[in-house]
Amino acid sequence: MRKDHTINVMNFRCPDCGQEFPAATRQWRCPCGGVLELSERSRFERDRIETKISTLWRYRAMLPPVKTENIVSLGEGWTPLVPAQAYGIEFLAKLEFLAPTGSFKDRGTTVLVSLLKELGVREVVEDSSGNAAASLAAYCARAQIQCRIFVPASASPAKLKQIRAYGAELIPVEGPRENASQAAQHAAQVSYYASHVYSPLILEGTKTIAYEIWEQLDGHAPDAMLFPTGHGTLLLGAYYGFRDLLEAQLIDRMPALYAVQSEACAPLYRIYIENLAELPDIPQGETVAEGIRIRRPVRWKAIMRAIRETGGRVVTVNESEILSAQRDLARQGLYVELTSAVAVAGLKALPHGGERLVVPLTGSGLKAPF
């Protein structure tokens, strides 16, 4: 049974100018350039967790409203938390790579695609050469929504195979990564832009990682969390999730959120270190951490706010540190993709002493064997 404060009508809102849009909008960004958020988010209520459900839909009461028959789920979320170590530091690894398509992206996708089904959307477009596209392609296959992905012509063939296997249409775009985004945004004039970067529904899915960790730690928040950070959708989701728990007075302080970037492509680090008021124009840089090779994180302001407010930091790691972190994890039985190893490599930068640390291992090593 629904209580009064359940959100029945969901709107999107531009934080920059205040304009509101119905959730059914095809507008993926405010005309003023702002990145949309939900105008109202549901509150966390412990009593409404459906504890018999072993997917993130156990938090359905806290997720955007969808009819049961429109939920598109492949068993995502509720991932294990297992002890591991690096640089002599003990931490808890959250095994996000066990997700249905092999990365945490499924958390956001299950919420987004369920809403699209609820809204009767029949076809979507997206641009990505990697895990976001594979995830979207899988959930669209499940929902029988047609899916077209614009990919850089230079994208790695391994990940493209997974995307194509789900039946998505792949459209190669010549030139730099941004050209694929522009092509998708152009196609979005007549289709739906199911963007992991722009859709605020993605963060409603990724926030569940915080709820899960809180349950798994017997009603506590960790002291700190580290994320391999590109567009920051997992870091921001965790921030929202823990803030929900704080507002419900179920934790008494926020975990410090650390963004870890590859030295070769670290716009957030530049902002952090130089205290910049604008996104710097940096070269793309070459890195083995392909999943976070992002020059222009669109929610950079929100990411920086979350990091500063929680007492976290932005740190960078170099290529050899990423490679050795991946190897060290594998020697503990945890085979992750190089992008995921970035967060673990970042542990060396932490002030530490008996703190409870959680690191999500975001993607499977089987995605791009190295």
Ligand X SMILES: *Cc1c(COP(=O)(O)O)cnc(C)c1O
Name the residues that contact ligand X, by CB under 6 A. Answer: 103, 105, 131, 228-234, 291-292, 337, 339-340, 362-363
CB of 14 to Zn ion, least distance (A): 3
Q: Could you say which of Zn ion, ligand X, none residue 17 binds, taking C-beta under 5 to 8 angstroms by partner kind? A: Zn ion
* Cβ-based nearer residue to Zn ion, 17 or 158: 17
Q: Report the C-alpha gap between 100 and 55 in whole angstroms.
A: 11
Q: Could you say which of ligand X, Zn ion, none residue 231 binds, taking C-beta under 5 to 8 angstroms by partner kind? A: ligand X
* Cβ-based nearer residue to Zn ion, 36 or 124: 36
* Cβ-based nearer residue to ligand X, 232 or 312: 232
For 359, residues 6+ apart whose C-beta sits below 8 A from its C-beta are: 84, 91, 92, 93, 94, 225, 226, 343, 344, 347
Q: Report the C-alpha gap between 223 and 218 in whole angstroms.
A: 14
Place of tokens 């594979």: 134
* Cβ-based nearer residue to Zn ion, 36 or 317: 36
Burial pattern 335-364, b for ≥16 Cβ within 10 A else e, equals: bbbbbbbbbbbbbebbebeeebbbbbbbbb
* Cβ-based nearer residue to Zn ion, 13 or 196: 13
Asked if 320 and 359 touch (Cβ cutoff 8 Å), the reply is: no
CB of 305 to Zn ion, least distance (A): 18
- SS3 of residue 149 by DSSP: strand
Q: Could you say which of ligand X, Zn ion, none residue 16 binds, taking C-beta under 5 to 8 angstroms by partner kind? A: Zn ion
CB of 343 to ligand X, least distance (A): 8
Residue 17 contacts Zn ion per CB under 5 A: yes
Site string for Zn ion, 23-62 (x = CB under 5 A): -------x-x-x----------------------------
CB of 187 to Zn ion, least distance (A): 23
For 324, residues 6+ apart whose C-beta sits below 8 A from its C-beta are: 345
- Residue from 109, 116, 121, 94 nearest 228 by CA: 94
* Cβ-based nearer residue to ligand X, 73 or 131: 131
CB of 14 to ligand X, least distance (A): 21
To 5 degrees, how large is the angle CA 23–CA 21–CA 298?
A: 85
* Cβ-based nearer residue to ligand X, 133 or 251: 133
Q: Residue from 16, 40, 174, 309 that binds Zn ion (CB under 5 A)? A: 16
Number of Cβ within a 10 Å radius of residue 249: 8
Asked if 356 and 225 touch (Cβ cutoff 8 Å), the reply is: no
- Residue from 214, 183, 317, 208 nearest 261 by CA: 317
Q: Could you say which of Zn ion, ligand X, none residue 30 binds, taking C-beta under 5 to 8 angstroms by partner kind? A: Zn ion
Place of tokens 């089904």: 117
Q: Candidates 7-15, 43-51, 182-190, 302-310: pick the segment binding Zn ion (CB under 5 A).
A: 7-15
Q: Report the C-alpha gap between 208 and 210 in whole angstroms.
A: 5
Q: Could you say which of ligand X, Zn ion, none residue 363 binds, taking C-beta under 5 to 8 angstroms by partner kind? A: ligand X
Q: Could you say which of Zn ion, ligand X, none residue 103 binds, taking C-beta under 5 to 8 angstroms by partner kind? A: ligand X
Place of tokens 């809204």: 119
* Cβ-based nearer residue to ligand X, 116 or 342: 342
Eight-state DSSP code of residue 265: B
Q: Could you say which of ligand X, Zn ion, none residue 131 binds, taking C-beta under 5 to 8 angstroms by partner kind? A: ligand X
Residues near Zn ion (CB under 5 A):
14, 16-17, 19, 30, 32, 34
